[in-house]
Chains A and B, each alone.
Chain A
Amino acid sequence: MKTVIDAHTVSKTFNPNTIPVHAINNVHLHMEQGEFSALVGPSGSGKTTLLNLIGGLDKPDTGNIIIHGIDITKLSPNELIDFRLHNIGFVFQSFNLIPVLTAKENVELIMQLQNRKRADIEKRILSLFKQIGLEDKIDTRPSQLSGGQQQRVAVARALASKPQLVLADEPTANLDSKSAANLLDIMAKLNQEENITFIFSTHDVRVIERARRVITLVDGQIHSDTARVETEPQTTDLATAK
């Protein structure tokens, strides 16, 4: 098994000079390739901050974060951007897609930034849209897609660059339970098929149930970190609801 995340004594304090907020406090985290983990905890517990630190969107005050062998706390801002382009896929809570681009172009954009070959891009796009079940919506603008469909396109985009790690910050927060279950199905399938590591933050118990590992944050510290027994096939009430 390859190690994807190796984070030591990571802390992040906002507004250190005024009213300090210790958003992340002395966190250690280790993750292997192919894991499918949920990051849970009440609002304000530091989920977004931790994902941002792991994804190289923010720098910790202390500690090292080693992603796939690279200590990203040592990278310059430009190196970080390039690192994210090749190693991290992001799915955000909302307003995820560029509204003026079609579903296909949104996914394509990332691969073009990577200077991938035209033929490669076309092939990858076709297979991704097949996997997310939106082959017929390929040339549709985001505004014509439902929230659930938009998040599926966002997942396809996150995977387009063949990253080491996909970070999804509350990806189902704006979705109804049917769409949420569907999105989780797709994420789980891609996790299996492409062996890509997923971490998603959530409050939703029904989503938590889909994870194979649950990391609970309280006040910026890891309160518990438990592996869930695989009770396959996962037929929760969510999945049956679709």
Chain B
Amino acid sequence: MNTSLAWRNVWRNKMRSLLIMASMAIGLFAGIFVLALYEGMLRARVRTVIDTEVAHLQIHHPKFKDDYDPAMILPDQEQVMRSLDQLKSINHIAYRSIAQGMLATATGSAGVQINGILTEQENLVSQLDKKIRDGKGLMVNKKNAIVVGRKLADKMKLKVGSKLVLTFTDKESNITSGAFRVVGIYKTNNTPLDERNVFVNKAVLNSYLNLGEASHEVAIILHNDEDVQTVKQRLQQQLPTYAVESWKENSPETDLMVSTINQYSSIIIIIIMLALAFGIINTMLMSVLERSREIGMLTALGMNRVRVFVLILSETVLLTVVGVPLGLLSSWLVVNYLSAAGIDISSFSGAAMSGFGFSSIIYPRFPITQLPEVMLIVIGTALIASLFPSLKAIKLQPADALRQ
């Protein structure tokens, strides 16, 4: 009877009940949508960072990253290769040599990181071939071929075929320079990286640096993201004198972004829930005050406080029971549609997004893992919010309420 009375009370003011159900649904929808958006952005970003920028793991001479001294090569490349061979969770490996230097043309100069790479390895580890927009890339077996980023090319007015000069120090700290010809221009979503990194064949760079077959860096792609930590530990055990770093260490800004965005999404959810709570308190309080005479009468007739409390509480619960599935369903439908279609935000923030390494098309993902949490928060908010009107209802004095 109590539930049926509550249910009928809910439909006394249809407009108001629909409004509150809609606001619950919208609250849930908004919460899930924000999470889906962030989840989509983060996953895409992390994917890009791993697949095209820093791989899952990198191995260096422990001092290499201090000031990129070309002398800090991997001390025993054979040993590294043997260790890597044993690990089944490794998918692809790329060896690189790296030099910091100056790129100069007739019009100007810019500081760059020169990456000496092995094309086949690099295509698998950082998908360099897929990033090429103009020209053929380093597959052209020309000596002194170089691939530069779009951003740098624009700044330095470089085209495919343009000549440029790279100046850097070799292993013995002698200044050396070489003339190169642009054979490809690449572009990623991460403009700062595009501006900074240029690619040449490893053999060419090594001959300038006087390095022979040596490398500064090994980049490793695993089969599974989840294995990063365990493989890192294994490698560190086998190669105790090397620095083994995961993508989180090599791209700390991405790691920071993940945690910052998680914080933002909690803040946004809290704000949405506060709005929802005030909506419920306001509506249910109004509904209680409107019926104060009737509630007073029920108390007069002998309905005890617990029952009155439960009655008002169940009215909110019923609203929630309708509102929450509505919000869940609508957000699931919308997010699922958009996860395939994507949301193109380039028209309002594309440039800003790629400045941070984000794609301008977001593919939201339904936050399945956070779903129970979000639902609990919404239902909890609704229940807590409905405590106030319920408390108000049991405070009504029957004699006063009836006199009104």
Contact = CB atoms under 8 A, between A and B. Distances in A.
Interface in B1-46: 1, 5, 8-9, 11-12
B304 A78 contact: yes
Interface stretch (A35-43, A104-112, A177-185, A222-230): A104-112
Contacts of B8: 100-101
A105 B399 CA distance: 24
Q: B interface, by DSSP: helix, strand, loop or mixed?
A: helix
Nearest to A163: B302
A58 B302 contact: no
Centre residue among B11, B12, B399 by max chain A CB count within 10 A: B399
A84 interface: yes
B402 interface: yes
A57 B400 CA distance: 9
Contact of B304 (A55, A82, A96, A109): A82
Contact of B300 (A90, A105, A108): A90
Contacts of A96: 297
A23 B223 CA distance: 87
A82 B305 CA distance: 10
A135 to B, nearest CB: 22
B69 to A, nearest CB: 82
Given A48-B403, A81-B305, A57 B300 contact: yes
Contact of B1 (A81, A109, A114): A109
A192 B62 CA distance: 104
A113 B304 CA distance: 9
Interface of A: 48, 52, 55, 57-58, 78, 81-82, 84-86, 88, 90, 92, 95-96, 98-101, 105, 108-110, 112-114, 157, 161
Given A57-B398, A105-B1, A109-B5, 7 more contacts: A82-B304, A95-B293, A100-B9, A100-B12, A108-B1, A157-B301, A161-B302
28 contacts: A48-B403, A52-B399, A57-B300, A78-B305, A81-B299, A81-B303, A81-B304, A85-B301, A85-B302, A85-B303, A85-B304, A88-B302, A90-B297, A90-B300, A90-B301, A92-B297, A92-B402, A95-B297, A100-B11, A105-B1, A108-B1, A110-B301, A110-B302, A112-B1, A113-B303, A113-B307, A114-B302, A161-B302
